[in-house]
Structure 1
Amino acid sequence: MSAEDLIIIRGSGSLSALGLGSGGYTAPAPTFTTRYLGTHSLPVAALPAAAEAAVAALRQQHPSYRQLDRTVLLALLAAQQATKQAGWSVPAEQASLAVSIGSSRGATGRLEQFHQEFLAEGTVPVAASPLTTLGNVASWVAFDAGAHGGAALSHSSTCSSAFQALGNALAWLRAGMADRFLAGGAEAPLTDFTLAQMQAIGIYSPFAEADWPCRPGAGGPSTFTLGEGAAVFALEKASPQAVQHQKLSRPDKPIFQLESVGFGFEAIGSKTGLSRDGQHFQTAMRQALAQARRTPADVEAVVLHSPGTPAGDAAERAAIQAVFGENVPPFTSNKWLLGHTLGASAALSLEYALHLLTTQTWPTPPFATDLAPAPMRPLRRLLINAAGFGGNAASALVSLV
Structure 2
Amino acid sequence: MNTPISIASIGSISPLGSSNEVIWNNYLKESHLFTAKEFNGRTYWIAPLSNEDKEAIEVLRTSDGKYNRLDESVLYAIAASRKAVQNAGWAKNKDFGINIGSSRGATGLFEKYHKQFMDTKNTPTPASPTTTLGNISSWVAHDLGTQGPEISHSITCSTALHALLNGVAWLRGGMAEKFLVGGSEAPLTDFTIAQMQALKIYADSENPSHELAGPFDTARGKFGHSYPSRAFDLDKKKNSMILGEGAATICLQKGIHENTLAVIEGVGYATEPLEHNVSISADAECFQRSMNMALGKNKPETVDVIVMHAPGTIKGDSTEFNAIKKVFCNKLPFLTTNKWKVGHTFGASGMLNVELAILMLLHQQAIKVPFVTYDTTPEKIGRIMVNAVGFGGNAVSILLRAPNIEP
Give TM-score, length-normalised by structure 2. 0.89
Paired with 1:20 and 1:374, the residues of 2 have a C-alpha distance of: 31
Paired with 1:138 and 1:212, the residues of 2 have a C-alpha distance of: 35
Q: Does 1:358 align with 2:358?
A: no
Matches within 5 A, 1:223-234: 223-234=240-251
Matches within 5 A, 1:79-94: 79-90=81-92, 93-94=93-94
Is the Cα contact below 8 Å between 2:101 and 2:133 reproduced in 1? no
Q: Tell me the amino acid that sits aligned with residue 36 of structure 2.
A: T
The match for 1:75 is 77
Paired with 1:262 and 1:101, the residues of 2 have a C-alpha distance of: 19
Pairing partner for 1:38 from 12, 37, 40: 40
How far apart are residue 254 of structure 1 and its match? 6.1
Is the Cα contact below 8 Å between 2:304 and 2:378 reproduced in 1? no
Pairing partner for 1:177 from 172, 175, 186: 175
Q: Does 1:98 align with 2:97?
A: yes
The match for 2:229 is 214
Pairing partner for 1:317 from 318, 321, 324: 321
Q: Does 1:266 align with 2:277?
A: no
Paired with 1:230 and 1:261, the residues of 2 have a C-alpha distance of: 21
Q: 3-state SS of the aligned residue for 2:332?
A: coil
Q: Tell me the amino acid that sits aligned with residue 183 of structure 2.
A: G
Q: Tell me the amino acid that sits aligned with residue 340 of structure 2.
A: W
The match for 1:120 is 119
Paired with 2:110 and 2:324, the residues of 1 have a C-alpha distance of: 38
Q: 3-state SS of the aligned residue for 2:68?
A: helix
The match for 1:328 is 332
Paired with 1:188 and 1:373, the residues of 2 have a C-alpha distance of: 37
Q: Does 1:340 align with 2:344?
A: yes
Paired with 1:391 and 1:30, the residues of 2 have a C-alpha distance of: 28
Percent identity, please. 41
Is the Cα contact below 8 Å between 2:261 and 2:362 reproduced in 1? no
How far apart are residue 37 of structure 1 and its match? 2.6
The match for 2:10 is 12
Pairing partner for 1:192 from 190, 193, 196: 190
Paired with 1:366 and 1:319, the residues of 2 have a C-alpha distance of: 23
Is the Cα contact below 8 Å between 1:383 and 1:397 reproduced in 2? yes
User: C-alpha offsets along residues 253-302 of structure 1, whole Å, 9 cap, x if unaligned?
Assistant: 66311223211111132112421000111111111112xx3221221110
Q: 3-state SS of the aligned residue for 2:310?
A: coil
The match for 2:400 is 398
Moved over 4 A (4+): none
Q: Tell me the amino acid that sits aligned with residue 164 of structure 1.
A: H
Q: 3-state SS of the aligned residue for 1:127?
A: helix
Q: 3-state SS of the aligned residue for 1:185?
A: strand
Paired with 2:376 and 2:390, the residues of 1 have a C-alpha distance of: 27
15-24 or 172-181, larger mean C-alpha shift: 15-24
Paired with 2:41 and 2:286, the residues of 1 have a C-alpha distance of: 37
- Provide closer, same or farther for how the CA distance between residues 260 and 88 of structure 1 changes in structure 2, counting only shifts above 3 A: same
The match for 1:144 is 143
Query: Aligned residues, how many?
Result: 380
- Provide closer, same or farther for how the CA distance between residues 373 and 20 of structure 1 changes in structure 2, counting only shifts above 3 A: farther
Paired with 1:235 and 1:374, the residues of 2 have a C-alpha distance of: 33
Paired with 2:340 and 2:386, the residues of 1 have a C-alpha distance of: 16
Paired with 2:186 and 2:270, the residues of 1 have a C-alpha distance of: 26
- Provide closer, same or farther for how the CA distance between residues 350 and 373 of structure 1 changes in structure 2, counting only shifts above 3 A: farther
Q: 3-state SS of the aligned residue for 2:181?
A: strand
User: C-alpha offsets along residues 317-344 of structure 1, whole Å, 9 cap, x if unaligned?
Assistant: 1100111112111100011111000111
Q: 3-state SS of the aligned residue for 1:321?
A: helix
Paired with 2:31 and 2:57, the residues of 1 have a C-alpha distance of: 22
Q: Tell me the amino acid that sits aligned with residue 58 of structure 2.
A: A
How far apart are residue 48 of structure 1 and its match? 0.8
Structure 1: segments with no counterpart, 5+ residues? 247-252
Q: Tell me the amino acid that sits aligned with residue 45 of structure 1.
A: A
How far apart are residue 235 of structure 1 and its match? 1.0
The match for 2:216 is none
Q: 3-state SS of the aligned residue for 1:316?
A: helix
The match for 1:131 is 130
Q: 3-state SS of the aligned residue for 2:395?
A: strand
Q: Does 1:307 align with 2:311?
A: yes
Indicate the RMSD between aligned Cα atoms, in angstroms.
1.7
